[in-house]
Amino acid sequence: GVMPQTREHLSILELLAVPELVVALTRADVAPEDLQELAALDVEDLLSTSPWPDAPVCACSGLTGLGVPELKQTLAEAAQRLPVRATGSVFRLPVDRSFTIRGFGTVVTGTTRDGQLGGKDTLEVLPGRQAVRLRGIQVHGEDTETVFAGTRVALNIQGTPSDEIPPGCWLATPGALACGDRVDVHFTLLDSAPWPLENNATLRFLCGTAEVLATVRLMDAEGGIAP
């Protein structure tokens, strides 16, 4: 049924304005039918005030495979309803892993945010603007020549140790992006937030795969507090 992390994840999806939602009601192999029905009603009640009141709910089990084909079909149908994703000319990839494979060298992984990458393109590491050259591209363990925005990729980087491309940094088209230590944002404070957001508060700021401490400067809040 609905757990605290379920509500947290739903809030994140709402903030990200995710257009389609499919609910997987897991461990259906060990829950009796009446408990499954109660859990489904619990989920439907939660979704009734969300942007996805009619989201499909699929009972399934990752252990036995129960309901998994139906879940896959529902996900495929939801994906078909999504609009075509616009992609820019600038390649951007936040690095989430970086390691060394003997005989291949440095490998970094991440999910492309924008642009297209192919061949033996040259990229730069941000921050720092170190130039690096691609040696190879893989998607789900298969070699490929070109990747587009939204693709999960592994990049083999030539001549650069993995500790110079750590998780949290970005790979991008050389010279295309600016680096800075400040950003202007419009934010939404969730109703479930335990306290108001005050001016000069210190928060954990997530950008791509990086997590840093940031100081908030409120520009449009009465008394320096965002309720």
For residues 39 and 94, give the distance between their C-alpha atoms in angstroms, rounded to a whole number: 37
State pTM to two decimals. 0.77
- Classify 164 as helix, strand or coil: helix
Chain Cα centroid distance, residue 153:
14
Q: How far is CA 157 from the centre of its chain?
A: 23
Give the whole-angstrom CA distance, residue 122 versus residue 15. 34
Measured between alpha carbons, how far apart are the two ends of the chain, in Å? Answer: 31
Average pLDDT, consecutive stretches of 10 residues, N- to C-terminus, the chain (227 residues) = 91 92 93 90 93 94 94 96 82 95 91 86 91 92 89 91 94 92 88 87 92 91 68
* DSSP 8-class letter at 114: B
